[in-house]
Homo-oligomer: A and B are copies of this chain.
Amino acid sequence: MIYVTRRAAFSASHRLYNPQLSSEENIALFDKCANEMGHGHNYVLEVTVAGEPDEKSGYVIDLKKLKEILKREILDKVDHKHLNHDVEFLRGVIPTAENVAKAFWRVLQPHITDGKLYSIRLHETENNAVEYRG
């Protein structure tokens, strides 16, 4: 079994806010992350696919293909966007790193047919990261 990882970066805004709570409860829960006008990050995404290398190519998955899948399914939809407002597949989701990683998994998994999706790792800052393995 080989684990192949592709890294990509994107820049987006978000706001942590639960509409079922009051303004005060949101600030108590999310502090400065609840700032009304939002804030943003250079997110770093690492997608790992697990499988056996193909005999003919020596690849688990052609990383050029994985790069294209990431671009088409994820980056084109979230880069230079506001995660609360602009992204169809995040509608109704509080965009914490945890929830965004799970949403990315749901979007990507059907497209990974060489090997199997193993992990989505999402860095929000240089000090904070989450990982989801399905």
Once the chains bind, are B2 and A37 in contact (CB under 8 Å)?
A: no
Residue A132, interface by CB 8 Å: yes
Nearest CB of chain B from residue A86's CB, rounded to whole Å: 6
Q: How many copies of the shown chain assemble into the complex?
A: 6
Whether the pair B98, A4 counts as a contact (CB closer than 8 A) is yes
Q: A3-B133, A37-B82, A60-B130 are in contact. List 4 more A-B contacts (CB 8 A).
A: A2-B131, A20-B56, A31-B64, A35-B86
26 chain-A/chain-B pairs, Cβ below 8 angstroms: A2-B98, A2-B132, A4-B128, A5-B131, A6-B128, A7-B128, A9-B126, A11-B39, A12-B39, A13-B13, A13-B39, A18-B56, A20-B56, A37-B81, A37-B82, A38-B40, A39-B82, A40-B41, A40-B42, A41-B41, A53-B98, A53-B102, A58-B94, A58-B95, A58-B98, A60-B130
